[in-house]
């Protein structure tokens, strides 16, 4: 086998391996939730997307498309990687839908981008076929061959193209992943989605509230998450707070849900008045965030209707106040408090919008 043949074989194999690896990982681990959303809407909920099977099938289909393009164009040498462009373009298309409006999948301006891109691609292929002989490859060392590296560079550029075009909105991905799990009744796993991110919106807040209510952890864990929308985010309204796949069929709500509504609206007076009717305040069963709210209320009101003390929580609140007073700069103060007390109702009460 000649050096030219060696470099050609390495180019083909390397491009194929990179394409298959990227496509499978991208579909299986990054865009599965967007594809699940699209299939759910397009099938009107009749079928569901299976991420393992879907990733394999789509990778196979896109790989066969690339093979078909090569059979038609016979692109080689410096332009061989271009046989993967239609596959990458289709991959970007199917993973680019925006958040659906009126229960319809929206692919934005693809109606003209797709034919325009294919038109430019066809012209590029014609140019490569007509003038390819001008760049004919001679004898060269395989691992220093510009053919190999130029083709790999083209593949990497197409990776970047896909990542720039696709739906990469983190919060939307969190929501679709949560909804997929909630449909299966796996509320505990849903609560782990996006757990470390500070990004949120009202719809994501609603999903977390629903999962926490389903797992009886609303009063214990709600304010460990970033929240948005106050009590208006507790229930879907079809506009600012909505779901795509999961349907909220909750008819009755728990006592903790009702009390949480006061806390989300920062109505600690209403909360203090209501909680006396729901909990024995000297018991050990008062949820963590409710105790935090009671401590805050006791310290903020000169003549509180409810006086609540907890030695450990009182000490923590004093530390919270001391840390706040130690920073003159408001931004530094907020950051320091979030790092230490961002999982408390105190931080939410002071800083949540």
Q: How do the residues of the chain divide into helix, strand and coil, expressed in percent and rounded to 5? A: 65, 0, 30
Residues 187, 215: contact at Cβ < 8 Å?
yes
pLDDT value at position 345?
98
Which of the residue ranges 6-15, 76-85, 119-128, 131-140 would you say has the lowest mean pLDDT?
A: 131-140
pLDDT value at position 136?
58
Which DSSP string do the residues of 295-310 spell out, in sequence order? Answer: HHHHHH-SS-SS----
Check whether 252 has a pLDDT greater than 80.
Answer: no
Residue with the two structure tokens 């390819």? 132
Residues 169, 200: contact at Cβ < 8 Å?
no
Strand 104-106 to strand 98-101: parallel, antiparallel, or no bridges (unpaired)? Answer: antiparallel
The residue extents of the domains of the chain are 3-168, 169-252
Which DSSP string do the residues of 50-72 spell out, in sequence order? Answer: -HHHHHHHHHHHHHHHHHHHHHH
Q: What is the mean pLDDT of residues 151-173?
A: 96
pLDDT value at position 1?
46
Nearest-angstrom CA–CA distance, 298 and 283: 17
- The partner residues of 101 in beta bridges, in order of sequence, read 104
Tens of pLDDT along 16-37?
999 999 999 999 999 999 999 9
Question: What are the CA-CA distances from residue 252 to residues 50, 256, 271, 274 (Å)?
Answer: 32, 12, 20, 18
- Comparing CA positions, the residue from 163, 132, 156 lying closest to residue 15 is 156
The tokens describing 118, both together, are: 């294919």
Q: What angle do CA 7, 12, 13 make, to 5 degrees?
A: 100
Nearest-angstrom CA–CA distance, 351 and 110: 41
Kindly state the greatest CA–CA separation across the chain: 92
Q: Is the pTM of this model over 0.95?
A: no
Phi, psi dihedrals of residue 237, rounded to the nearest 5° = -120, 0
The tokens describing 95, both together, are: 């993973």
Neighbours of 26 (CB within 10 A): 20
Phi, psi dihedrals of residue 235, rounded to the nearest 5° = -140, 140
Which of the residue ranges 62-66, 139-143, 290-294, 333-337 would you say has the lowest mean pLDDT?
A: 139-143
Tens of pLDDT along 309-342?
989 999 999 999 999 999 999 999 999 999 999 9
Phi, psi dihedrals of residue 100, rounded to the nearest 5° = -65, 140
Check whether 275 has a pLDDT greater than 60.
Answer: yes
């Amino acid at each position: 086998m000649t050096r030219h043949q060696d470099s050609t074989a390495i180019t083909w194999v390397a491009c194929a391996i990179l394409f298959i690896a990227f496509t499978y990982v991208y579909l299986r681990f990054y865009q599965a939730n967007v594809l699940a959303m699209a299939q759910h809407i397009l099938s009107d909920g009749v079928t569901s997307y299976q991420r393992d099977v879907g990733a394999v099938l789509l990778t196979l289909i896109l790989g066969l498309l690339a093979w078909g393009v090569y059979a038609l164009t016979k692109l080689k040498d410096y332009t061989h990687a271009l046989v993967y462009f239609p596959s990458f373009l289709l991959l970007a298309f199917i993973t680019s839908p925006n958040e659906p409006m009126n229960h319809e999948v929206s692919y934005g301006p693809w109606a003209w981008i797709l034919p325009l891109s294919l038109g430019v691609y066809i012209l590029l292929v014609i140019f490569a076929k007509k003038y390819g002989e001008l760049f004919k490859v001679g004898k060269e060392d395989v691992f220093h061959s510009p053919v190999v590296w130029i083709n790999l560079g083209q593949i990497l550029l197409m990776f970047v193209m896909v990542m720039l075009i696709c739906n990469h909105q983190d919060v939307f991905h969190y929501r679709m992943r949560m909804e997929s799990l909630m449909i299966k009744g796996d509320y505990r796993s849903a609560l782990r989605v996006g757990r470390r991110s500070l990004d949120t919106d009202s719809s994501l807040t609603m999903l977390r509230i629903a999962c926490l209510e389903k797992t009886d952890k609303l009063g214990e864990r709600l304010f460990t998450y970033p929240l948005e929308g106050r009590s208006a985010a507790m229930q879907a309204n079809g506009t600012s707070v909505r779901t795509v796949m999961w349907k909220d069929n909750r008819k009755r709500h728990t006592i903790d849900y009702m009390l949480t509504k006061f806390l989300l609206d920062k109505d600690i007076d209403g909360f203090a008045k209501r909680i006396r009717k729901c909990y024995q305040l000297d018991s050990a069963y008062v949820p963590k965030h409710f105790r935090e709210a009671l401590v805050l209320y006791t310290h903020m009101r000169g003549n509180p209707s409810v006086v609540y003390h907890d030695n450990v929580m009182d000490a923590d609140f004093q530390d919270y106040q001391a840390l706040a007073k130690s920073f003159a700069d408001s931004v530094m103060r907020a950051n320091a408090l979030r790092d230490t007390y961002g999982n408390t109702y105190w931080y939410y009460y002071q800083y949540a919008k």
